[in-house]
Amino acid sequence: MLRFLTAGESHGDALIGILEGMPAGLKIDTKHINRDLKRRQEGYGRGQRMQIEHDQAKILSGLMRGVTIGSPIAIIIENKDSSIDQLPAVKNPRPGHADLAGILKYGFKDARCVLERASARETAVRVGIGAICKILLAEFDIKIMSRVLMIGGAESEKLMKDKIDEARKSKDTLGGAFEVIAKGAPPGLGSCVHYDRRLDASIAEMIMSIPAIKAVEIGNAIECAGKSGSKVHDEIFYSKGKGIYRKTNNAGGIEGGMSNGEDIVVRGYMKPISTLMDGLDTIDIDTKKQVKASTERSDVCAVSAAGVVGEAVLAFVIANMFLEKFGRDSIAEIDRNYKGYIAGLKI
């Protein structure tokens, strides 16, 4: 089983990730990891924190001479801003953030105890872990990419930027939607036999775990929900040249909880960021008086960054189910099993 844990606070010393279950024999070049970390920090609408941090991953374990040896891989990303113990207490919880729910759950008197871990800064180390999974998948010609579909209702790049500029001027924030696509995944990843083995269920769980994501779509699900079945389902064809193929991919590459050989298409819908420079109404948790919500250094919009995180978590899910099907111990073993399976894909 491929699994990971992360640790670290937004303004702590570092973010740490441990990835367990990566097979032996995979060459890891950290430039690929750092490239994705840089992509996560980019995008129109990002805040001042991205000008401070220049994320670089260091791998502490699991490699010898740059090649995996089958043991857990530990990653560390150091924070340049590690001022957690000097930062002021947060008494005015922000609507839409984890502040109030965390205060009530844990009995804190300071929302900083919540927000430091709930911060989307944690996703930096997830991007690092996902980048390793992408290196594995690339060995088998599976590639993962993302794009921004919409920001604040705008769908063209110019209008998206205009919307972000307007929001920045008015001290507001924006959300939107991104799409992540996995190309080259073979049919048969996941399973129909039980709920926790379904590929789409695992993908939805991981996309929803990204901060501020409030909805997930597989394929053209939202559009198709308003249509009849004859207009929705992807008809199946065969030719000697192509073999089995489809002309459409409304299912987003997944049927019955299993990949079907088409592109796996996932969309995430992100709410506007909860920290507004002109805070909304809230209460002071000590006095219970009506006040304006606290402000923290934050982005105006981070949809493009969320897409990069979406790539990472989709890579993790696909890598896990890929290893479940083709073996987990070594790249050589997996390669043999994979080639045999692909050669036998005939009906």
> What angle do helix axes 303-326 and 123-138 make, rounded to 10 degrees?
50
Q: What pLDDT digit, counting tens, does each position of 85-105 carry? A: 999 999 999 999 999 999 999
Q: 47, 171 in Cβ contact below 8 A?
A: no
Beta bridge partners of 20: 3
For the four alpha carbons of 319, 325, 331 and 336, in that order, the dihedral sign comes to negative
Domain ranges of the chain: 3-343
Rounded-to-integer distance, Cα 13 and Cα 92, Å: 25
Query: For position 63, what pLDDT does the model report?
Result: 98
User: Residue 321: which of 253, 254, 265, 259 has the closest Cα?
Assistant: 259
Find how far residue 204's CA is from the centre of its chain. Answer: 10
pLDDT of the residue at 347: 60
Which fold does the domain 3-343 belong to in CATH? Chorismate synthase, AroC fold (3.60.150)
| Segment holding 345, helix H or strand E | none
Q: Which helix (H) or strand (E) holds 61?
A: strand 57-61
Determine if residue 330 is left, alpha or beta; phi over 0 gives left, psi from -120 to 50 gives alpha, anything else beta.
Answer: beta
Within 8 A by CB and 6+ apart from 311, the residues are 36, 127, 130, 134, 144, 145, 146, 180
- Asked whether 167 and 299 are in contact (CB, 8 A), the reply is no
Q: Note the pLDDT of residue 51.
A: 66
Q: What is the DSSP letter of 279?
A: P
Low-confidence ranges of the chain (pLDDT < 70): 48-51, 347
Going by C-beta distance under 8 Å and a sequence separation of 6 or more, which residues neighbour residue 164?
44, 45, 151, 152, 174, 300, 301
What is the pLDDT at residue 329? Answer: 97
CA distance 140 to 10: 35
Residue-by-residue DSSP string for 150-165: EETTB-SHHHHHHHHH
CA 135 from centroid of its chain's CA atoms: 16
- What percent helix, strand, coil does the chain show, rounded to 5? 35, 25, 40
